[in-house]
Chain A
Amino acid sequence: MKTAILAAGFALAALPAVAQDGVVLVQSTTSTQNSGLYDHILPIAEEALGLDIRVVAVGTGQALQNAERCDGDMLIVHARDAEIAFVEAGFGTERRDLMYNDFVIVGPESDPAGVAGTGDVSAALAAIAGAGAPFASRGDDSGTHRKELNLWDGVADVAAASGTWYRELGSGMGATLNAAVGMGAYTLTDRATWLAFENRGDLVILSQGDERLFNQYGVIPVNPAHCPNVNAEGATAFADWLVSDAGQQAIADYSLGGEQLFFPNAE
């Protein structure tokens, strides 16, 4: 057993341990990673700030949980009400608008529920529910899932339909899109993940443009009063940079296949 402890100790000692200065850990929603936004802006930010910025991409719900447990220095997420509640509970210092894009409803090209061209999102969802056409829900408490539940409110009782045409996957956006392709199902996705997604099969955008499909991203440094271990200085520097002209320009410059994915709107 002594050798075991020695070996384990040696293995651990050989690796970087305690959170280092200059490292900023971001708990993030997945769309910003899956779309390649971080690959574009992080090198620019790291160069400008002299920071080592690391991203853990999980759903917004899990990101908020992880940050509340102090396992991150800042948040980039998209669930405005939950973000405000996070700051009000004292877990974050301040929440600022960062950028936006929008959600779209995608579904099979054959469109069994006939939602194509329906601008009104409630009408589109009502058509899906009415036809009993399969709908793939994230079901993971992410920002997109919360938005989707809001949209269903007053349109259909999806909790009662769960397991029939309404399918809660408990998965990330990418996994949900893969499943929707396999099931020929409709689903709600943010446009950035959709544009970056390569396995679309016969899914196409069927409903878009409703103002309720607006998707706002926010940035919040974790409060050092709640989490003394966080790199508050680094997190504030990165958050300030993101909402600065330089950061906003870097976000605006990112495009995929000629389409801009995120639209900066910090004040």
Chain B
Amino acid sequence: MPTFLDSIRTALALIASGDPDLVEIVLLSLRVSLTAVVAAAAIGVPLGAALAVFRFPGRGALVVLVNALMGLPPVVVGLVVYLSLSASGPLGVLGLLYTPAAMIIAQTILVAPIIAALTRAALAEMLTEYDETLRALGANRIDTLGTLLWDARFALVTALLAGLGRALAEVGAVMLVGGNIDHVTRVMTTAIALETSRGALPLALGLGFVLLMLTLVLNAAVLGLRARLEGPAHA
């Protein structure tokens, strides 16, 4: 059995070697997941904001639905996207199956509800706090929305990071729709699954540590940026 120390050593050696295959896999992971988070934010932030601020019939049910969709199993999303993009499926003509685009679509579906639900929660809480003030100022719903989004910006960053974490970590969906094709659709998680199936457990776990470090660096970068933006206000 490999020890964790072995695997950490493997991870460090992998990073130090700058292995071109590893770099390619890491870059594809980032490209797919970051694109998916941007697309999911473009859907999730407006949706979450609308659910927090506007009152319309069916809103309560929609809130429950969006919250429930945070628990979408990746493998089910992968299956649905696979069947849709399959050459015999409704969107087969696009030829997207087994491409990074298919992986982005699947991850966008997984991440959008997370961003929408967290955005709604952050804005709804703020709204109860600000509502009277905003009314007294005669703000309309659109002004309210703008104020809330700006004041909740740090909570939104957290929502995006939660979404990014989900995207970078999932394997079930990208394995099915990407196919784990070497040099084309192989990402960190599918590479880990492959090495596990080869019984190369130290390497698999080493790749796991690389992924963990990647997530750490991304989070540190975003939170560092946030601290710098926040800094002057507190000075």
Contacts and interface: CB of A to CB of B under 8 A. Distances in A.
Interface stretch (A94-102, A111-119, A192-200): A192-200
Interface in B98-115: 98-101, 104-105, 108
Interface of A: 1, 3-4, 6-8, 11-12, 15-19, 25, 30, 33-34, 38-39, 54-57, 66, 69-71, 172-175, 177-178, 196-201, 227, 229
B203 to A, nearest CB: 8
Contacts of B62: none
Interface of B: 1, 35, 38-39, 42-43, 46, 86-89, 92, 94-101, 104-105, 108, 179-182, 184, 194, 196-201
Contact of B199 (A71, A177, A227, A229): A177
B96 A70 contact: no
Given A8-B108, A15-B100, A71 B197 contact: no
Given A7-B42, A25-B98, A70 B86 contact: yes
B42 A3 contact: yes
Contacts of B197: 30, 34, 172-175, 178
Contact of A174 (B89, B94, B104, B196): B196
Contacts of B92: 70, 229
Contacts of B181: 54-56
Nearest to B100: A15
A197 B86 contact: no
B108 A175 contact: no
Contacts of A173: 197
A57 B201 CA distance: 19
B94 to A, nearest CB: 6
A39 B98 CA distance: 19
A11 B198 contact: no
23 contacts: A4-B39, A4-B42, A4-B43, A8-B43, A8-B108, A11-B35, A11-B38, A16-B100, A17-B95, A25-B98, A39-B182, A54-B98, A54-B182, A56-B181, A70-B86, A71-B98, A172-B197, A174-B196, A196-B199, A199-B199, A200-B199, A229-B92, A229-B95
